[in-house]
Amino acid sequence: MSNFSDSLDPVEWRISDAPIEYPVAVDAMEHRIAEIHAGNAPETVWLLEHPPLYTAGTSADPTELLDNNRFPVYSTGRGGRHTNHVPGQRVAYAMLDLKHRGGDVRRYVRDLEQWIIDTLAQFAIIGERREGRVGIWVTRGAPANPLHREDKIAAIGVRVRHWIAYHGISLNVEPDLEHFGGIVPCGIDEHGVTSLWDLGQTASMPEVDLALRHCFETVFGRETTTAEGMP
Protein backbone atom coordinates (compact mmCIF):
# COMPACT_ATOMS: atom_id res chain seq x y z
CA MET A 1 0.00 0.00 0.00
CA SER A 2 1.19 3.49 -0.79
CA ASN A 3 1.91 5.70 2.22
CA PHE A 4 1.42 9.44 2.08
CA SER A 5 0.13 12.38 4.09
CA ASP A 6 -3.19 11.92 5.89
CA SER A 7 -3.85 15.60 5.22
CA LEU A 8 -4.71 14.91 1.57
CA ASP A 9 -8.33 15.22 0.50
CA PRO A 10 -10.21 12.07 -0.55
CA VAL A 11 -9.75 11.04 -4.16
CA GLU A 12 -12.64 12.17 -6.35
CA TRP A 13 -14.29 9.27 -8.15
CA ARG A 14 -16.05 10.02 -11.45
CA ILE A 15 -17.94 7.70 -13.80
CA SER A 16 -19.07 8.57 -17.34
CA ASP A 17 -22.04 6.58 -18.61
CA ALA A 18 -21.69 7.43 -22.32
CA PRO A 19 -18.54 6.57 -24.32
CA ILE A 20 -16.00 9.42 -24.36
CA GLU A 21 -14.02 10.27 -27.49
CA TYR A 22 -10.30 9.84 -26.88
CA PRO A 23 -9.19 13.44 -27.64
CA VAL A 24 -11.94 14.75 -25.35
CA ALA A 25 -10.71 12.46 -22.56
CA VAL A 26 -7.09 13.56 -22.96
CA ASP A 27 -8.05 17.24 -22.91
CA ALA A 28 -10.13 16.68 -19.78
CA MET A 29 -7.28 14.83 -18.04
CA GLU A 30 -4.75 17.52 -18.89
CA HIS A 31 -7.09 20.20 -17.57
CA ARG A 32 -7.64 18.25 -14.37
CA ILE A 33 -3.94 17.57 -13.71
CA ALA A 34 -3.22 21.27 -14.16
CA GLU A 35 -5.87 21.96 -11.53
CA ILE A 36 -4.40 19.32 -9.22
CA HIS A 37 -0.91 20.80 -9.67
CA ALA A 38 -2.25 24.26 -8.83
CA GLY A 39 -4.01 22.94 -5.74
CA ASN A 40 -7.46 23.71 -7.12
CA ALA A 41 -8.79 20.15 -7.50
CA PRO A 42 -8.46 16.83 -5.68
CA GLU A 43 -6.80 13.75 -7.10
CA THR A 44 -9.23 12.02 -9.42
CA VAL A 45 -10.08 8.57 -10.77
CA TRP A 46 -12.25 8.66 -13.88
CA LEU A 47 -14.00 5.49 -15.10
CA LEU A 48 -15.21 5.43 -18.68
CA GLU A 49 -15.46 3.57 -21.95
CA HIS A 50 -14.18 4.76 -25.31
CA PRO A 51 -15.75 4.23 -28.73
CA PRO A 52 -13.67 1.83 -30.83
CA LEU A 53 -10.12 3.12 -31.41
CA TYR A 54 -6.44 2.27 -31.24
CA THR A 55 -3.83 4.29 -29.38
CA ALA A 56 -0.09 4.36 -29.98
CA GLY A 57 2.13 5.05 -26.97
CA THR A 58 5.59 6.55 -26.95
CA SER A 59 7.24 3.19 -27.74
CA ALA A 60 4.81 2.16 -30.50
CA ASP A 61 6.23 0.37 -33.53
CA PRO A 62 4.29 1.26 -36.72
CA THR A 63 4.64 -2.32 -37.98
CA GLU A 64 2.54 -3.49 -35.03
CA LEU A 65 -0.50 -1.66 -36.36
CA LEU A 66 -1.83 -4.49 -38.51
CA ASP A 67 -5.07 -2.87 -39.67
CA ASN A 68 -5.00 0.92 -39.79
CA ASN A 69 -8.38 1.08 -41.55
CA ARG A 70 -10.44 -0.60 -38.84
CA PHE A 71 -10.56 2.16 -36.21
CA PRO A 72 -9.16 5.67 -35.72
CA VAL A 73 -5.58 5.65 -34.44
CA TYR A 74 -4.41 8.23 -31.91
CA SER A 75 -0.84 8.96 -30.92
CA THR A 76 -0.60 9.50 -27.19
CA GLY A 77 2.03 10.64 -24.73
CA ARG A 78 1.49 7.70 -22.38
CA GLY A 79 4.11 5.01 -22.10
CA GLY A 80 3.75 1.74 -23.94
CA ARG A 81 2.94 0.64 -27.47
CA HIS A 82 -0.34 -0.01 -29.29
CA THR A 83 -3.50 -0.82 -27.44
CA ASN A 84 -7.18 -1.14 -28.25
CA HIS A 85 -10.11 0.61 -26.57
CA VAL A 86 -13.66 -0.55 -27.31
CA PRO A 87 -16.98 -0.61 -25.47
CA GLY A 88 -17.02 -3.35 -22.85
CA GLN A 89 -13.57 -2.39 -21.64
CA ARG A 90 -13.37 -0.40 -18.42
CA VAL A 91 -10.81 2.36 -18.68
CA ALA A 92 -9.70 3.88 -15.37
CA TYR A 93 -7.79 7.14 -15.70
CA ALA A 94 -6.01 7.86 -12.43
CA MET A 95 -4.82 11.44 -11.91
CA LEU A 96 -2.70 11.18 -8.78
CA ASP A 97 -0.04 13.40 -7.21
CA LEU A 98 3.10 11.30 -6.97
CA LYS A 99 4.85 13.88 -4.79
CA HIS A 100 2.58 12.67 -2.00
CA ARG A 101 3.03 9.02 -2.98
CA GLY A 102 6.77 8.64 -2.56
CA GLY A 103 7.83 10.22 -5.87
CA ASP A 104 8.55 6.77 -7.29
CA VAL A 105 7.06 6.07 -10.71
CA ARG A 106 8.05 2.40 -10.70
CA ARG A 107 6.37 1.91 -7.37
CA TYR A 108 3.30 3.66 -8.68
CA VAL A 109 3.11 1.29 -11.65
CA ARG A 110 3.42 -1.64 -9.23
CA ASP A 111 0.51 -0.18 -7.28
CA LEU A 112 -1.56 0.04 -10.48
CA GLU A 113 -0.73 -3.61 -11.17
CA GLN A 114 -1.76 -4.57 -7.66
CA TRP A 115 -5.00 -2.64 -8.07
CA ILE A 116 -5.88 -4.77 -11.10
CA ILE A 117 -4.77 -8.02 -9.46
CA ASP A 118 -6.87 -7.33 -6.37
CA THR A 119 -9.87 -6.34 -8.49
CA LEU A 120 -9.68 -9.55 -10.51
CA ALA A 121 -9.49 -11.54 -7.28
CA GLN A 122 -12.95 -10.21 -6.40
CA PHE A 123 -14.19 -12.29 -9.36
CA ALA A 124 -12.09 -15.38 -8.56
CA ILE A 125 -9.61 -14.62 -11.36
CA ILE A 126 -5.88 -14.90 -10.69
CA GLY A 127 -4.10 -12.00 -12.40
CA GLU A 128 -0.32 -12.10 -12.54
CA ARG A 129 2.64 -9.92 -13.46
CA ARG A 130 5.15 -11.18 -15.99
CA GLU A 131 8.76 -10.02 -16.13
CA GLY A 132 9.39 -8.07 -19.31
CA ARG A 133 5.69 -7.81 -20.18
CA VAL A 134 3.49 -4.83 -19.43
CA GLY A 135 0.02 -5.43 -18.05
CA ILE A 136 -1.69 -8.21 -16.13
CA TRP A 137 -1.90 -11.79 -17.36
CA VAL A 138 -4.09 -14.84 -16.83
CA THR A 139 -2.80 -18.42 -17.17
CA ARG A 140 -5.18 -20.81 -18.89
CA GLY A 141 -4.71 -24.56 -18.55
CA ALA A 142 -2.03 -26.58 -16.81
CA PRO A 143 1.56 -26.22 -18.12
CA ALA A 144 1.52 -29.76 -19.52
CA ASN A 145 -1.77 -29.19 -21.32
CA PRO A 146 -1.33 -28.63 -25.09
CA LEU A 147 -3.92 -25.83 -24.80
CA HIS A 148 -1.95 -24.06 -22.08
CA ARG A 149 -1.52 -20.35 -22.77
CA GLU A 150 -1.25 -16.94 -21.14
CA ASP A 151 -3.65 -14.17 -22.09
CA LYS A 152 -3.57 -10.49 -21.27
CA ILE A 153 -6.60 -9.14 -19.43
CA ALA A 154 -5.51 -5.61 -18.53
CA ALA A 155 -3.15 -2.95 -19.88
CA ILE A 156 -1.27 -0.13 -18.14
CA GLY A 157 -0.02 3.15 -19.59
CA VAL A 158 1.17 6.12 -17.57
CA ARG A 159 2.26 9.67 -18.26
CA VAL A 160 3.60 12.08 -15.64
CA ARG A 161 3.57 15.87 -15.71
CA HIS A 162 4.65 18.06 -12.76
CA TRP A 163 4.74 14.78 -10.81
CA ILE A 164 1.02 14.32 -11.47
CA ALA A 165 0.39 10.89 -13.00
CA TYR A 166 -2.39 10.41 -15.52
CA HIS A 167 -3.73 7.91 -18.04
CA GLY A 168 -3.88 4.61 -16.12
CA ILE A 169 -5.34 1.15 -16.72
CA SER A 170 -7.80 -0.66 -18.97
CA LEU A 171 -9.52 -3.86 -17.89
CA ASN A 172 -11.30 -6.12 -20.37
CA VAL A 173 -14.77 -6.82 -19.00
CA GLU A 174 -16.80 -7.85 -22.08
CA PRO A 175 -15.24 -6.26 -25.18
CA ASP A 176 -15.26 -7.83 -28.63
CA LEU A 177 -11.84 -9.48 -28.44
CA GLU A 178 -11.68 -9.81 -32.22
CA HIS A 179 -10.75 -6.13 -32.44
CA PHE A 180 -7.41 -6.78 -30.76
CA GLY A 181 -6.47 -8.55 -34.00
CA GLY A 182 -5.87 -5.17 -35.66
CA ILE A 183 -2.73 -4.61 -33.59
CA VAL A 184 0.04 -6.47 -31.83
CA PRO A 185 -1.21 -5.62 -28.33
CA CYS A 186 1.58 -3.89 -26.43
CA GLY A 187 4.10 -5.41 -28.86
CA ILE A 188 3.53 -8.99 -27.68
CA ASP A 189 2.37 -11.35 -30.42
CA GLU A 190 3.05 -14.75 -28.83
CA HIS A 191 0.20 -14.47 -26.32
CA GLY A 192 -3.52 -13.78 -26.53
CA VAL A 193 -6.07 -11.45 -25.00
CA THR A 194 -8.94 -12.33 -22.67
CA SER A 195 -11.69 -10.72 -20.61
CA LEU A 196 -13.82 -11.42 -17.56
CA TRP A 197 -16.64 -12.69 -19.78
CA ASP A 198 -14.26 -14.80 -21.86
CA LEU A 199 -13.21 -16.45 -18.59
CA GLY A 200 -16.82 -17.14 -17.63
CA GLN A 201 -17.22 -14.28 -15.14
CA THR A 202 -20.26 -12.38 -16.43
CA ALA A 203 -19.88 -9.39 -14.13
CA SER A 204 -21.69 -6.18 -14.99
CA MET A 205 -19.78 -2.95 -15.43
CA PRO A 206 -21.23 -1.49 -12.18
CA GLU A 207 -20.02 -4.60 -10.34
CA VAL A 208 -16.54 -4.13 -11.78
CA ASP A 209 -16.63 -0.45 -10.84
CA LEU A 210 -17.53 -1.33 -7.26
CA ALA A 211 -14.61 -3.78 -7.09
CA LEU A 212 -12.22 -1.23 -8.60
CA ARG A 213 -13.26 1.35 -6.03
CA HIS A 214 -12.94 -1.01 -3.08
CA CYS A 215 -9.53 -2.24 -4.19
CA PHE A 216 -8.29 1.26 -4.99
CA GLU A 217 -8.89 2.29 -1.40
CA THR A 218 -7.08 -0.83 -0.19
CA VAL A 219 -4.02 -0.39 -2.43
CA PHE A 220 -3.67 3.38 -2.41
CA GLY A 221 -4.83 3.96 1.14
CA ARG A 222 -7.18 6.83 0.43
CA GLU A 223 -10.96 6.99 0.70
CA THR A 224 -12.90 8.21 -2.31
CA THR A 225 -15.83 10.53 -2.92
CA THR A 226 -18.28 10.44 -5.80
CA ALA A 227 -18.84 13.23 -8.34
CA GLU A 228 -20.47 13.46 -11.75
CA GLY A 229 -18.61 12.17 -14.79
CA MET A 230 -16.10 14.21 -16.77
CA PRO A 231 -15.60 16.31 -18.79
For 77-106, how does the pLDDT look when each residue is reduced to its tens digit (9 = 90+)? 787 778 889 999 999 999 999 998 889 999
Tell me whether residue 1 is in a domain. no
Instruction: Note the pLDDT tens digit of each residue in 6-31.
Output: 446 899 999 999 999 999 999 999 99
* Domain contains 185: yes
The answer for 210, left when phi > 0, alpha when psi is -120 to 50, beta otherwise, is alpha
Question: CB neighbours (10 Å) of residue 32?
Answer: 24
pLDDT of residue 136: 96
The percentage of residues in the chain with a pLDDT greater than 70, rounded to a whole number, is 93
The C-alpha atoms of residue 162 and residue 97 are separated, in whole angstroms, by 9
Task: Let me know: does 19 contact 50? Beta carbons within 8 Å.
Answer: yes
What was the pLDDT predicted at 1?
A: 42
Does 45 fall in a domain? yes
* Catalytic residue, candidates 48, 91, 112, 186: 186
More confident residue, 56 or 168: 168
Domain that holds residue 214: 11-227
Percent above pLDDT 90 for the chain = 61
In a domain, 6, yes or no: no
Q: Is 215 known to be catalytic?
A: no
> Is there a domain that residue 126 lies in?
yes
Residue 217 pLDDT exceeds 90: yes
Q: Residue 146 belongs to a domain with what CATH number?
A: 3.30.930.10
